[in-house]
Amino acid sequence: MRVAFYAHFPFHHAILEPIRDALAGRADCLLSADRRRITAFAPDVLVMTGHMHLEYFRHHVPHAIAVNVRHGLVGKAVMRRLPPRASARWFDFVCVGAEVRLAAYEQGGAAPRAYWHTGYPQLDPLFRRDAPPPLPIDPARKTVLYAPTWNLGLSSAGVLGGRVVELIRRRAGDVNVIIKPHPVIGDWRPRWMESWARLAAELPGVHLVRNTHADVVPYMLAADLLVSDASSAIFEYLALDRPIVLVTNPHHRADPAYEADDIIWRWRDAGEEVRDPDALPAAVAEALELPDARAAARHRYAKILFGELTDGRNHARVAEKILETGDALASGQLAAQPVAGHRNALVRLWRDLRTRAGGSRPLRRFVLAPLDAPRLFMRRLLLRPGPHG
C-alpha cells in the first residue's frame, strides 16, 4: 500500500511524521510538500492536515482515499469560505477526538464517510508530558508562552503591540516570556516580527521563536501559562491542564474568520478573558498564583475534545486506521469514490473568488468589481436602445 502525506506548510511535518513513522515497514510512504511528487507517487491513501489543495488531489489522484487529520481545533469559518463543490470539501475520513459530530462539516455539506475516533496526533507529546527542549531562558523562573494567531481582526498582536512583555511582567514579576507566533505570521506580518525581535534583543528572559513554522508543542511543554487570543493553541494547551489567559480583539466580529458558533467564542471561560490590554497584568499574575482557578472548565472542555484518547498514542491509532483502510481496499470491501469538480480553471477561480467575497467587502470592491466591469460594459452595450428604440 502506498500512503502519501501532504505537508502544505512546514509545521505540518510535526503532525504527519509520527504517523508516517508508525507505518514504517508496513506501507510505502511519501511525505512531501510537492503536489506533483505526490501525484506521481499515485497513493492509495492520501493524508492531509486540512482542505488546502484538496480539489487538486481529487482531480489528479481521484482513486486515493483522502484522510484529514486536522491541524487546528477551531473553525474560523473555513467551511463557509470553501468553494461550494464536493471536490474542494469532501474527505473520506476525518480524525477526531471525543467530539463526534462536527457541526462545521455537517453544515458545510462535507460530512465524511466516517469519523475516525483516533484523537489528534499533534497532542501526543503533551499527553505524554515529554520533556521541554533546552531554551535560552532561566528554568528556575515561571514561563509565559505568548502564542497569537495571525488574523488581523482576531489576533492580539496589534492590540498589545510592543507592550506585550511589559504587560505580562507588570504584576507577575520577572517571568520568562516565550513568543511563538502563528506559523504564517513570519511570512505575512513582518512588522509584528520586527517588534518582537527588538523585545527579544533588548530584554533578558524573552525568547522569540523566529522560525514561526516550528512546532508550538515543545514551547507549550516549557510554559506555566499560555496567553493567546483566537488560536487553536488554546485548546491544544488544555491537554496540559495549565492556566490560560485570552486576549479578545475588539474588532473580532468584523473579521471574515469570525464564526459565532465556533468553540473559540463559546468556550472563552476556559481561561481568563481580557478585553482591555491594561487588564492583562492582573490576569497573568492571578493565573500564575492560582493555576487551578478555572480547572473545572478546562477539564470539562478537555473531556469533550479528547475523551479518553489521552495516552499519547493518537498517531498510532491513525496509522492503524490507515492500515485497515489499505486492507479494505485490497479485499474489495472499500472503494474510492471519485469526486468530480469543475474542470474549467477560470470558472473555478471566478466562483472561488465570489465564494470568498461573500463575507469580505474589500474583496468584493477591489477584486470582483474590476473583474466584472468588462462583462457589465458589454451587457450594457448590447442592451442599449438603437436609433429606432
70-79, 151-160, 168-177, 360-369: lowest mean pLDDT where? 360-369
Q: What is the mean pLDDT of residues 356-367?
A: 46
85-94, 169-178, 231-240, 335-344: lowest mean pLDDT where? 335-344
- Between the CA atoms of 99, 100, 105 and 107, what dihedral angle is there, to the nearest 10 degrees? -100
pLDDT single digits (tens) 69-80: 988 888 777 777
55-69, 78-92, 127-141, 159-173: lowest mean pLDDT where? 78-92
pLDDT over 70 at 46, yes or no: yes
Residue 337 has a pLDDT of 84
pLDDT over 70 at 102, yes or no: no
pLDDT over 70 at 371, yes or no: no
More confident residue, 337 or 356: 337
pLDDT band at 342 (very low <50, low <70, confident <90, very high): low
Alpha-carbon distances, residue 36 vs 6, 16, 50, 312, 336 (angstroms): 11, 19, 18, 33, 20
Q: What is the mean pLDDT of residues 104-122?
A: 82
pLDDT single digits (tens) 25-43: 999 999 999 999 999 999 9
- Say what percent of the chain tops pLDDT 70: 84
Find out whether 11 and 213 touch, Cβ atoms under 8 Å. yes
pLDDT band at 380 (very low <50, low <70, confident <90, very high): very low
pLDDT over 90 at 23, yes or no: yes
pLDDT over 60 at 389, yes or no: no
pLDDT over 70 at 376, yes or no: no
pLDDT over 50 at 286, yes or no: yes
pLDDT over 80 at 253, yes or no: yes
198-202, 263-267, 360-364: lowest mean pLDDT where? 360-364
Nearest of 78, 80, 79, 15 to residue 47 by alpha carbon: 15
Find out whether 73 and 101 touch, Cβ atoms under 8 Å. no
More confident residue, 267 or 382: 267
pLDDT over 60 at 349, yes or no: no
* Sign of the torsion angle spanned by Cα atoms 255, 261, 267, 268: positive
Residue 381 has a pLDDT of 41
Residue 111 has a pLDDT of 82
- Say what percent of the chain tops pLDDT 90: 75
Residue 373 has a pLDDT of 43
- Taken in order of first residue, the domains within the chain and their CATH numbers are 2-119+311-331 (3.40.50), 130-306 (3.40.50.12580), 345-383 (no CATH)
Residue 372 has a pLDDT of 41
Residue 266 has a pLDDT of 94
pTM for this one? 0.86
Residue 359 has a pLDDT of 46
pLDDT band at 55 (very low <50, low <70, confident <90, very high): very high
When the pLDDT of each residue in the chain is averaged and rounded to a whole number, the result is 88
